[in-house]
Structure 1
Amino acid sequence: MGLIQHVDPVLMAVLSVTPTRTASAPAFSETATLESTTSCINLRTTSDDLCEQPFAVFHSDFEQVLGKTPSLRVVAQETSFPFAHEAGIWIPSTRECFFTSNQYYESGSSIKKIQISKIQAPKDAGGEYTWEKINPKPDILTANGGVNYKDGALFCSQGYGEKDSGCLVYMDVHPPYESKVILNHFHGRPFNAPNDVVIHPLDGTIWFTDPDYAFIQSLRPIVRLPNQVYCFNPETGNVRVVTDGIERPNGISFSPDLKTCYISETHASDGLGGKIDDVPGTIYAYDMVRSPASTKPDRPYILVNKHVFAFADAAAPDGIKTDTNGNVYSGCGDGIQVWDSDGILIGKILIPGGSANFCFTDPHVILAFNETRIVEIRLNATGTIVKY
Structure 2
Amino acid sequence: MPSRLRSALLAAALCHLSCAPLLAQEPAPAPSVERLDPALDAVIAPGTPVERVATGFGFTEGPLWHEGRLWFSDVTGDRMRAVSPDGRVEELIANSGGLPNPPAGASIGSNGMAPAPDGTVLMTQMGARRIVKVGKDGRLTPFLSDYQGKRLNSPNDLVYDGSGALWFTDPPFGLFNGMDRDPAKELPFNAVFRYAGGRLTPVITDMTLPNGIGFSPDFRTLYVGNYGPEMYVRAYDVRPDGSLSAPRELIRFPGGRGGPDGLKVDTAGNIWMTGPGGIRIVTPKGKVLGQIRLPETAANLAFAEDGYTVYITGSTSIYRLHSKVKGMLPLYADRK
TM-score, normalized by the shorter chain, greater than 0.5: yes
| C-alpha separation in 1, matches of 2:293 and 2:186 | 38
Q: Secondary structure at the match of 2:40?
A: helix
Q: Secondary structure at the match of 2:43?
A: helix
Aligned to 2:92: 134
| C-alpha separation in 1, matches of 2:288 and 2:61 | 23
Aligned equivalent of 1:244, options 202, 205, 209: 205
Relative to structure 1, is the Cα distance of residues 139 and 190 closer, same or farther in structure 2, using a 3 angstrom cutoff? Answer: closer
Aligned equivalent of 1:72, options 35, 42, 50: 50
Aligned equivalent of 2:251, options 310, 314, 322: 310
| C-alpha separation in 2, matches of 1:137 and 1:332 | 28
| CA-to-aligned-CA distance 1:326-369 (integer Å, 9 cap, x gap) | 00011223221111110111100110122111111023211111
Identity of aligned residues (%): 23
Q: How does 1:208-357 map to 2 (within 5 A)?
A: 208-216=168-176, 221-225=183-187, 226-233=189-196, 236-268=197-229, 280-290=230-240, 300-313=241-254, 314=256, 315-357=258-300
Over aligned residues, Cα RMSD in angstroms? 2.4
* Residue 55 (structure 1) shift: 1.1
Q: How does 1:1-388 map to 2 (within 5 A)?
A: 49-51=28-30, 54-78=32-56, 81-82=57-58, 84-91=59-66, 94-104=67-77, 114-121=78-85, 128-135=86-93, 140-141=98-99, 142-150=109-117, 151-160=119-128, 166-172=129-135, 174=136, 176-202=137-163, 204-216=164-176, 221-225=183-187, 226-233=189-196, 236-268=197-229, 280-290=230-240, 300-313=241-254, 314=256, 315-362=258-305, 363-388=307-332
Instruction: Give the number of the structure whose residues are more often helix, by fraction.
Output: 2
| C-alpha separation in 2, matches of 1:373 and 1:213 | 21
| C-alpha separation in 1, matches of 2:199 and 2:267 | 31
> Unpaired runs of 5+ in structure 2?
1-25, 100-108
Counterpart contact for 1:138–1:178, Cα < 8 Å: no
Q: Secondary structure at the match of 2:41?
A: helix
Counterpart contact for 2:79–2:94, Cα < 8 Å: no
Instruction: Name the larger-Rg structure.
Output: 1
> Unpaired runs of 5+ in structure 1?
1-46, 105-113, 122-127, 161-165, 269-279, 291-299
Counterpart contact for 2:97–2:125, Cα < 8 Å: no
| C-alpha separation in 1, matches of 2:185 and 2:297 | 29
* Residue 229 (structure 1) shift: 0.8
| C-alpha separation in 2, matches of 1:140 and 1:74 | 29
| C-alpha separation in 2, matches of 1:139 and 1:243 | 25
Counterpart contact for 1:90–1:148, Cα < 8 Å: no
* Residue 217 (structure 1) shift: 5.1
Aligned to 1:37: none
| CA-to-aligned-CA distance 1:42-71 (integer Å, 9 cap, x gap) | xxxxx984527x111111111111125522
* Residue 222 (structure 1) shift: 2.0
Relative to structure 1, is the Cα distance of residues 138 and 228 closer, same or farther in structure 2, using a 3 angstrom cutoff? Answer: closer
Aligned to 1:163: none
Relative to structure 1, is the Cα distance of residues 373 and 159 closer, same or farther in structure 2, using a 3 angstrom cutoff? Answer: closer
* Residue 140 (structure 1) shift: 3.6
Letter in 1 for 2:63: G
**Higher RCO, 1 vs 2 (CA within 8 Å, ≥6 residues apart):** 2
Counterpart contact for 1:336–1:354, Cα < 8 Å: no
| C-alpha separation in 2, matches of 1:137 and 1:76 | 21
Q: Secondary structure at the match of 1:70?
A: coil
Letter in 1 for 2:278: G
Letter in 2 for 1:232: Y
TM-score using structure 2 length? 0.81
Letter in 1 for 2:54: A
Number of residue pairs aligned between Structure 1 and Structure 2: 293
Counterpart contact for 1:254–1:322, Cα < 8 Å: yes
| C-alpha separation in 2, matches of 1:213 and 1:77 | 23
Aligned to 2:18: none
Counterpart contact for 2:231–2:253, Cα < 8 Å: yes
Instruction: Give the number of the structure whose residues are more often strand, by fraction.
Output: 2
* Residue 139 (structure 1) shift: 7.1
Q: Secondary structure at the match of 2:123?
A: strand
